[in-house]
A and B are shown apart, each in its own frame.
Chain A
Amino acid sequence: MFKMFDAPVPGENFTSDTRNYPWHRPPEIVEYDDGVDYLLEKLSDPEQAELTYSMLEINLPIVTVVSAMLMQGISKGKFPIDLAVLMAGPVARYIQIIAKNNGIKHELGIEDKNRTPITPTSLKMALGIYEDAEDDTVEVEEPPVAAEGFMSPPDAAVEGDPASEEEQAAMLGQVEENEEDML
């Protein structure tokens, strides 16, 4: 019953201070070049550089690193979101250059992962070109494996050939005996 009243009072949002969060205030940087300058300078800071290139070393793509940097800047109220999106390109390019120059393994991460790469084999398949590949494989006969379980079927190679049908019938008592012999 009381849960229905457990909600904000209409208009309560107007009572909070709109300057509570940095992104509620006007951003510090609004110029494109100033923003890129700020981020490149930040990247030249040893601590930030260590963090950034360590992230690349653990196979994180540059896109992820750039996104994290930009999100941090937005949350601190340094620059607006739309400017952050515009600045992503130069920052990614800068990180790529530095990583390449220092021999750090890196991946840009903008490739479409759903795209199937075109290979000579896939192209031949698409065009319907089939080549008879030479069969160079040599068949190797595997040695017989002995039956291991108590209930496993007898192995012919180990136990010998199965009994003929007549022998099996005799063993089951299905052979008709001659009446003469009986007498």
Chain B
Amino acid sequence: MKFEEAIVKSIKNFMDGNMPTSTGKTSERGEIFYTPDYFDAYEEALEEGDFEEEEVEEDV
């Protein structure tokens, strides 16, 4: 399998709602943040125009 084919397969899987759940378990949070649901909500918020970027508190 070529790299491009793997990318296509990965995008297809993500669009179908599949996620690398085992990879998420290995992260510090224990779950994945950027899920298909997150992007659906992001899209809705952008369409409604009430999306605000999270402000990062900086230590002074």
Q: B59 within 8 Å of A by Cβ?
A: no
Interface residues of B in 1-58 (CB under 8 A from A): 3-4, 6-8, 10-15, 20, 23-24, 27-29, 32-34, 36, 39, 42-43, 46-47
In the assembled complex, how far is the CB of residue B4 from the closest CB belonging to chain A, in whole angstroms? 6
A96 to B9, CA, bound (A): 17
A71 to B2, CA, bound (A): 13
Q: What bracket does the count of chain A residues touching chain B fall in? A: 20 to 34
Q: A88 within 8 Å of B by Cβ?
A: yes
Do the beta carbons of B4 and A63 come within 8 Å of each other? yes
A81's nearest neighbour on chain B, judged by CB, is B3
Interface residues of A in 69-108 (CB under 8 A from B): 70-71, 81, 85-86, 88-90, 92-94, 97, 100-101, 108
In the assembled complex, how far is the CB of residue B53 from the closest CB belonging to chain A, in whole angstroms? 9
Q: Contact partner of B12 among A71, A94, A97, A110, CB < 8 A?
A: A110
A88 to B33, CA, bound (A): 15
A contact patch SS? helix
A63 to B36, CA, bound (A): 17
A67: chain B residues at CB < 8 Å are: 3-4, 7
B14: chain A residues at CB < 8 Å are: 88-90, 92-93
Do the beta carbons of A33 and B15 come within 8 Å of each other? no
Report which residue of A32, A89, A93 has the largest number of chain B beta carbons within 10 angstroms of its beta carbon.
Answer: A89
Where the two chains meet, the residues of B that have a C-beta atom closer than 8 Å to any C-beta of A are: 3-4, 6-8, 10-15, 20, 23-24, 27-29, 32-34, 36, 39, 42-43, 46-47
Identify the 6 closest CB pairs spanning chains A and B, nearest first. A89-B14, A88-B10, A90-B34, A88-B7, A36-B34, A92-B11
Where the two chains meet, the residues of A that have a C-beta atom closer than 8 Å to any C-beta of B are: 31-33, 36, 62-63, 66-67, 70-71, 81, 85-86, 88-90, 92-94, 97, 100-101, 108-110
